[in-house]
Amino acid sequence: METKGSTLKAYELAREYFAATGVDVDAVLDKLDAVPISMHCWQGDDVRGFENPDQELTGGIQVSGNYPGRARNAGELRADLDLAMSLIPGAKRLNLHALYLEADKPVGRDAIEPRHFQNWVDWAKAKGIGLDFNPSCFSHPLSADGRTLSHPDKAIRQFWIDHCKASRRVSEHFGKSLGTPSVMNIWIPDGSKDFPFDRFGPRALLRDALDAVIAEPISQDFHFDAVEGKLFGIGAEAYTVGSNEFYLAYAATRKVMLCLDAGHFHPTEEVADKLSAALSMIDRVLLHVSRPMRWDSDHVVLLDDPTQNIANELVRGGVLPRVAIGLDFFDASINRIAAWVVGTRNMRKALLRAMLEPATALKDAEAKGDGALRMALFEEHKSSPWTAVWAQYCESRNTPAGMGWMDTVKTYERTVLAQREG
């Protein structure tokens, strides 16, 4: 796609503006383009997966809405992802859950193998993207009572340990096949609806179960382990076994990645503020960028203050190489492909705005204790011509700069999504 004359002219003026603040815009765009964002497969089918379409969604996970066009099988989901990814500039990955396997006959979650995900590997290889992975410790008869890796029943606990071990082998296969390490994130719904007597016991069981899961060494050339905490969940309001504090300590002592999900904290907490704290003690962090609305409701990511603050910290701290950025929202009340496009583009917009900050001037003002100048620089940047840079970036990467992408999505909705039933 050739850059439109008006877009290029606006970009050239913006480039001059930012150059005067000490920012090389062309270098910024090259840096921005290389940052991968891992899109989540479960936005496309409302977290149903292909293991058992009749399985009830459990584990405190809720998806609201019934907008037409949900992907019903892996072929439809990949087609939807193809369209969404074509409308999003920059490097991308796909994050898969274990329940998105493809098999001719039922497969126990403790028996999944790389071959059950080979179609995903072939698809990713053709697109030149990486894959990430997650054990699915929910929506299963053995998770029905809200306990998995901390279950007091040894046999049930072992089932989930074996599932996570099998998932690590799948993740390793992704890394070996695609030439980029897969990040495998472990989240469990374990907790209590009302106040428990024993808080220590389940956490000891979880610690030992996780130790068993990661006991077999896997090269970080192919695979990273991550653990994801949560403040509370539906059905686990009083006590969450895998809290952020538990997993922060676990990540620090076991040298695994800590997953920080933007929806898993108190509404007054800022995930952005946690990055510098966590990365002072641990090597790597996985981000699940989402938008909680009064609770962990996983709304589509907006270009709002929390999202921008996350991007700012990643860029200001120079920690992008140590952080894996993934998305985690699922809105079934709107066109699901549009949700992917809006959310992923917004995450990249936030990164662009952060990279365009007058960092040198801000550092100098802060070093001199000039709070007024620092504040003025922050505020002036909010109205800087970053949108002209975004437009040029999109067009130069063969993606629509403005709302043109929505026409493509609406055409697909009429010709493809509308033909789907159920």
Q: Quote the DSSP letter at residue 15.
A: H
Q: Which of 60-74, 203-217, 307-321 has the lowest mean pLDDT?
A: 60-74
Mind listing the pLDDT tens digit for each residue in 339-354?
999 999 999 999 999 9
> Is residue 296 among the annotated active site residues?
yes
Mind listing the pLDDT tens digit for each residue in 81-134?
999 999 999 999 999 999 999 999 999 999 999 999 999 999 999 999 999 999
- Label residue 59 by pLDDT band (50, 70, 90): low
The one catalytic residue in 264, 274, 349, 381 is 264
The one catalytic residue in 40, 274, 288, 381 is 288
Mind listing the pLDDT tens digit for each residue in 238-291?
999 999 999 999 999 999 999 999 999 998 899 999 999 999 999 999 999 999
> Is residue 97 among the annotated active site residues?
no
User: What is the rounded average pLDDT for all residues in the chain?
Assistant: 95
Q: Residue 89 burial by CB count (10 A; 0-12/13-18/19+): exposed, middle or buried?
A: buried
H or E stretch at 28: helix 25-33
Report helix, strand or coil for 53: coil
> Is residue 145 among the annotated active site residues?
no
Q: What is the pLDDT of residue 13?
A: 97
The one catalytic residue in 298, 313, 331, 395 is 298
The one catalytic residue in 92, 140, 223, 230 is 230
Compare 54 and 52 and report the one with higher pLDDT.
Answer: 52
Residue 53 scores a pLDDT above 90: no
Q: Please say whether the beta carbons of 95 and 43 come within 8 A.
A: no
Residue 54 scores a pLDDT above 80: no
Q: What is the pLDDT of residue 208?
A: 98
Return the percentage of the chain with pLDDT > 90, whole number.
90
Return the percentage of the chain with pLDDT > 70, whole number.
98
Q: What is the pLDDT of residue 267?
A: 87
Mind listing the pLDDT tens digit for each residue in 168-197?
999 999 999 999 999 999 999 999 999 999
CATH superfamily of 35-355: Divalent-metal-dependent TIM barrel enzymes (3.20.20.150)
H or E stretch at 420: none
> Is residue 288 among the annotated active site residues?
yes
CA distance 58 to 188: 11
The one catalytic residue in 328, 331, 357, 395 is 328
The one catalytic residue in 45, 261, 331, 357 is 261
Mind listing the pLDDT tens digit for each residue in 289-329?
999 998 888 999 999 999 999 999 999 999 999 999 999 99
Mind listing the pLDDT tens digit for each residue in 377-402?
999 999 999 999 999 999 999 999 99
Residue 1 scores a pLDDT above 50: no
The one catalytic residue in 46, 51, 132, 228 is 228
Mean pLDDT within 10-26: 97
Q: Which two tokens stand for residue 227?
A: 């653990």
CA distance 239 to 410: 43
- Label residue 422 by pLDDT band (50, 70, 90): low
Q: What is the pLDDT of residue 295?
A: 85
- Label residue 52 by pLDDT band (50, 70, 90): confident
Q: What is the pLDDT of residue 3?
A: 53
The one catalytic residue in 187, 340, 386, 405 is 187
- Label residue 55 by pLDDT band (50, 70, 90): confident
Q: What is the pLDDT of residue 296?
A: 83
- Label residue 65 by pLDDT band (50, 70, 90): confident
H or E stretch at 191: strand 191-192
The one catalytic residue in 296, 313, 331, 357 is 296
Residue-range domain boundaries for the chain: 1-23+362-422, 35-355
Q: Please say whether the beta carbons of 222 and 266 come within 8 A.
A: no
Mean pLDDT within 155-168: 98
Residue 58 scores a pLDDT above 80: no
> Is residue 328 among the annotated active site residues?
yes
Which ranges of 44-91 would DSSP assign to H, the alpha helix?
74-86
Query: Sign (positive/negative) of CA torsion 166, 168, 172, 175?
Result: positive
Q: What is the pLDDT of residue 169?
A: 98
Q: Quote the DSSP letter at residue 39.
A: E
